[in-house]
Structure 1
Amino acid sequence: MGCRIQIAQINPLVGDVAGNAERVIAAAGVAREAGAHMVLFPELVLTGYPPEDLLLRPEFMRRVESALERISAESFGIALVLGYPRAAVGGLFNVAGVWRDGELVAEYAKQHLPNYSVFDEKRYFMPGSTATVFEHRGLRFGLTVCEDIWQDGPAGQAAEAGAQVLLNINASPFHAGKPQERETLLGRRARDHGLPILYANLVGGQDELVFDGASFAVDRDGRVVRRAPAFVECDLGIEIEGDETGVRVLPGPDEEPSPLDPDAVVYQALVLGVRDYVRKNGFKGAVLGLSGGIDSALTLAIAVDALGADRVEVVLMPSRYTAGMSNEDALEEAERLGVASRTIAIEPAFRTFLEMLEPAFAGQPVDVTEENIQARCRGIILMAISNKSGRILLTTGNKSEMSVGYATLYGDMAGGFAPIKDVPKMLVYRLARYRNRLGEVIPERVLTRAPSAELRPDQTDQDSLPPYETLDDILRLYIEEDEGVEAIVARGYPSDVVRRVARLVDRNEYKRRQAPPGVRISKRAFGRDRRYPITSGF
């Protein structure tokens, strides 16, 4: 007994039910021509993930039913396993359905509905409770959906119901280290039940989330036998054989892609997140302010790799405090990456604002207010170019800055998307060095000089912040690990520094609430992951 299965690692568009159905049908056609007997699609592939409150609209669910009729008519000669929402008495199920020869052969309702981190499935779905096993080409396949495989129950149920192979369809978002976690977990689950598992994952960017794909198959001994490349749409062909000794996943004819370097994985996630946000929202390209600093240099490299140099433009906006080397480095970055650049000095606007505000500021010392005016002059210029050109404005702030409020509302925070919003400062440097290994696009001086906002004479970030090595460690513990101040101090960090950083994080929630979305690459990003009240006495 044998079965050729194709995992269709595709990139749907949330809400585009008809378009996603056509993607499914096209992939099924390719698989049929290649001689496949079954195609495995990701979780909620018809709606895209996460569809959120679109699920509450009756018209949306009518479109799902219409799309299923269309898919059913195209299921002759091949079995299609795909994810979609199913209306039922009392609500909706998140299901995996099997369509073959124009009929619904089997349907399984997801049992474990995640309601943590970025997930909110209990708002929309009811849990299933029973296993579903169906037969195809003499083999018995058990169905599970995403979170089900992280819990032992559904896999055990399927095994007890006679499954010889487990199919697991997913919309599993990326964060650093997640691909390895999945492979380790599924290896253990396969060994627990002596069954091979096929794991099909979504790929693509959706607002803050990036789905890395990286679909794979593990044999019954838990060994990864087949692995799809990450961050790209692709088809992964898998051969399964069964006899009296059990079912095996056969090795592929080509060499399996190796897991990528951790920095390479994060960089690819950022590129895909930017590309899909721009593409799926219909922008003509991107524009950003280029300062000669490390953050804007990395953001520019990501934008060019995502969109192409011809769709990216940069603006240099020097002030009275901008160092000559900053302009030189910024121009060199633009030239190395082949993007159009222009220089618009902010001095005339800054001077005019100071003159306009002089009566209101009379008798008061110069402080951060004047620094913020400079950033807001730049924000007005960039937003005007964005509006006129139809290109989205990318902001360049990193996670360390966003955590402690080292950013200006309506200034450098102005924009439509924040590529490195979830990237701590020290990781910014690592990613920049990784990108330079592919081709040196960021001048070495940018990587070695002290970071500065250049909003006053001789300013550096460390005038008002701890060293980034220390700051990033404290922020990781406080934000991503939820450790309290005393616990962090007990690890050996200075008490006054920890307390100050924690106060800055808490005090600047109002700023982050007004920040643009950005790519999530950590276990806990600002936005969907971490939702704290602005007004709080905690």
Structure 2
Amino acid sequence: MKLAGAAINQTPLDWENNLRNIKIAIEEAREQQVDILCLPEMSIPGYGCEDLFLHDWVSVECFERLLEIKEWCVDIVVCVGLPVRLNGITYNTACVISNQKILGFTAKQFLANDGVHYEPRWFSSWVPNTVQEFEMLGQTYAIGDIIYEHLGVTFAFEICEDAWRNKDRPAYRHKEKGVQLIINPSASHFAMSKTDVRYHLVVDASREFACTYLYTNLLGNEAGKMIYDGEIIIAQNGNLIHRNVLLSFKDVDMECAEVDILNPLPLVDVPVLPPVDENREFVSAVTLALFDYMRKSRSRGFVLSLSGGADSSLCAVLVAEMVTRAVEELGLEEFVRKTNCLTPEELPVFSQFSGKQLRNALVGKLLITAYQGTVNSSDDTFRSAEELAKSIGAVFYNWTIDEEVTSYRGKIESAIGRNLTWEQDDVTLQNIQARVRAPGIWMLANLNNSLLLATSNRSEASVGYATMDGDTAGSISPIAGVDKAFIRQWLVWAQLELGYEGLQYVNNLQPSAELRPLERAQTDEKDLMPYPLLNQMERLAFYDRLSPQQVFEKLKGGDYADNDLKLYVQRFFSLWSRNQWKRERYAPAFHLDDYNVDPRSWLRFPILSGGFRQELGQIG
């Protein structure tokens, strides 16, 4: 039997795009004479429809589209995902179509309700081992925990979260019933190193349940925040038969393999894969996410306030690497069609370029940067920004904002009847510099119909080390899902491994906001605490869910004296609790790690709270 999965890049409620991708996948599978094709979870409407799943009309629209898809399924079995809404209750289902006939709908039994997942808000769980009938658009269909048959092979489903439920997963019941093939359509979000876990989830299952297992994941930045890696795995009895290359820029990645299900391979121990390179995973995921976000928002490129520091430098390199990777996989013509970045007259000219010359020419069409200096800015950061922009071909502007700062400062000093001083008004004087940078850079974004990249990282978001409406301004915050320590080491890696020589300048600088006078030698870690320690406390507090006292006890006896550590713990929790309002207002961010601090996805926290006063007072 020839089995196939098709990772497809869908968009919520973009019916034309979604059906086109499904049709392409079915046509490619039929050309390859595939017997069974699995499409991802919720492939018709898109997985990220959120509260629209509660609207009756959405499910009806999906069903009407399903009937269109059914007619394309000639001499092939296709599994396609959609919501089915019965009596005001929505189920997450996989529909099985065989040779233009709907065989039934399998409904998801376990709903994801942790981390970034809120499925029980929209869907209801199906009761195992139950099947019922329902009527839709004049026809009667079966829905539930169904076992299907094709070419003498019995198959059944686990839908995404079903497979993550350990001893409760449907596969145990499937094995008792003699199921030979388990199919898993998924929308499993990207997180660094998660693919290893998923690999074992699938290949281990094929061994434990003595079956063939076909897994298909969604692909791309579907709805704005979550990234899907498009993983397709086919395994049998612990043998990995096929696994694709992840995070493709294609709309459709159809992968197939022949599997002898009636005479299966012998049971073997599951092979161990080499460890995942998170630096490569990160850049693959974020570049695809930026590419999809740009084209799906119908924007013409990106604008960036390039300070010469680590965060903005990373954002600039990610755009350049996005161009490199997308052109390499798609080709120039398809890249231009998707981004609309060249006129018909320009395309033949750019077709003469190759390699770095082509990359830089395209970056010049897609990335505008500006260095907005003050009297507190250093020559080192200006050089870092200018040389990096030049090395990747980005448009680079340079202006100062001292006049605007002086104007605002003068207005307030006149109003309150005194001069502002660094000794008395430190935060105010720092913030006005960051804040007046926003209007000019927003103007460039508006003029070019471009996305403004916010440069916040997760470490800064945790402690509110950012000026609201200043350096947090932006349409998208691509690196807010990773910490500062990761960013700094990644920039060194990118210089050495990816050849971005323009990063040599930022890699020799200590991170600094450069908002105080230069003689005060401001650095981020002096203002806050060492970044590696900040990241440890963040993870212990909100991933491991420890109290301030427990965090202190975990970290005692390490690299910091107890008195210093106590002050750092108190500072972290105090800053965390008072800055929730900032995290509520950050630009949308990509989920990249196994956790994040975004209150609209992974971590909710009250805006107003007691601020851990009692708990911090107990640290001793």
Please give the TM-score of this superposition, normalised by the length of structure 1: 0.94
After superposition, the Cα gap between the structure-2 partners of 1:248 and 1:32, relative to the gap in structure 1 and judged at 3 Å, is farther
Query: Equivalent of 1:171, from 187, 212, 222?
Result: 187
One-letter amino acid of the counterpart of residue 15, structure 2: V
Shift of 1:190: 2.3
| Long gaps (5+) in structure 1 | 250-256
Query: Equivalent of 1:132, from 136, 146, 169?
Result: 146
The superposition leaves residues 432-486 of structure 1 with CA deviations (integer Å, 9 ceiling, x where unpaired) of: 1232211124432311321110001221112211111222211221232222211
- Residue 398 (structure 1) aligns with: 457
User: Is the contact made by 1:289 and 1:315 (CA closer than 8 Å) also made in structure 2?
Assistant: yes
Shift of 1:259: 6.8
1:407 aligns with 2:407: no
Q: Secondary structure of 2:259's match?
A: strand
One-letter amino acid of the counterpart of residue 343, structure 1: N
Shift of 1:29: 0.5
1:425 aligns with 2:484: yes
Shift of 1:150: 1.2
Q: Secondary structure of 2:2's match?
A: strand
1:295 aligns with 2:311: yes
After superposition, the Cα gap between the structure-2 partners of 1:137 and 1:258, relative to the gap in structure 1 and judged at 3 Å, is farther
1:331 aligns with 2:386: yes
Percent identical among aligned pairs is 29
User: Is the contact made by 1:274 and 1:519 (CA closer than 8 Å) also made in structure 2?
Assistant: no
Query: Equivalent of 1:355, from 406, 410, 413?
Result: 410
Shift of 1:203: 1.0
Whole-Å separation in 1 of the counterparts to 2:188 and 2:211: 22
Whole-Å separation in 1 of the counterparts to 2:469 and 2:530: 26
- Residue 230 (structure 2) aligns with: 213
One-letter amino acid of the counterpart of residue 239, structure 1: E
Q: Secondary structure of 1:532's match?
A: coil
Q: Which moved more, 1:523-532 or 1:487-496?
A: 487-496
Q: Secondary structure of 2:590's match?
A: coil
Whole-Å separation in 1 of the counterparts to 2:203 and 2:28: 29
Query: Equivalent of 1:438, from 481, 495, 498?
Result: 498
After superposition, the Cα gap between the structure-2 partners of 1:301 and 1:451, relative to the gap in structure 1 and judged at 3 Å, is same
User: Is the contact made by 1:217 and 1:225 (CA closer than 8 Å) also made in structure 2?
Assistant: yes
Query: Equivalent of 1:510, from 574, 581, 592?
Result: 581
Please give the TM-score of this superposition, normalised by the length of structure 2: 0.82
Whole-Å separation in 2 of the counterparts to 1:465 and 1:13: 40
Shift of 1:258: 7.5
Shift of 1:224: 2.6
Query: Equivalent of 1:46, from 25, 39, 44?
Result: 44
Shift of 1:361: 4.3
One-letter amino acid of the counterpart of residue 152, structure 2: G
Whole-Å separation in 2 of the counterparts to 1:132 and 1:246: 23
Q: Number of residues paired by the alignment?
A: 529
Whole-Å separation in 1 of the counterparts to 2:480 and 2:28: 38
1:160 aligns with 2:179: no
- Residue 287 (structure 2) aligns with: 271
After superposition, the Cα gap between the structure-2 partners of 1:267 and 1:481, relative to the gap in structure 1 and judged at 3 Å, is farther
The superposition leaves residues 344-365 of structure 1 with CA deviations (integer Å, 9 ceiling, x where unpaired) of: 2111111111122222343353
One-letter amino acid of the counterpart of residue 463, structure 1: K
1:460 aligns with 2:523: yes
1:521 aligns with 2:521: no
Q: What does 1:358-377 align with in structure 2 at a 5 Å threshold?
A: 358-363=413-418, 365-377=424-436
Shift of 1:260: 4.6
Query: Equivalent of 1:500, from 571, 586, 591?
Result: 571
Whole-Å separation in 2 of the counterparts to 1:444 and 1:9: 38
Shift of 1:180: 0.7
Whole-Å separation in 2 of the counterparts to 1:246 and 1:325: 64
- Residue 236 (structure 1) aligns with: 255
- Residue 335 (structure 2) aligns with: none
- Residue 183 (structure 1) aligns with: 199
Q: Secondary structure of 1:83's match?
A: strand
Q: Secondary structure of 1:241's match?
A: coil
User: Is the contact made by 2:373 and 2:401 (CA closer than 8 Å) also made in structure 1?
Assistant: yes
User: Is the contact made by 1:42 and 1:202 (CA closer than 8 Å) also made in structure 2?
Assistant: yes
- Residue 80 (structure 2) aligns with: 82
Whole-Å separation in 1 of the counterparts to 2:502 and 2:314: 8
Whole-Å separation in 1 of the counterparts to 2:201 and 2:34: 27
One-letter amino acid of the counterpart of residue 609, structure 2: S
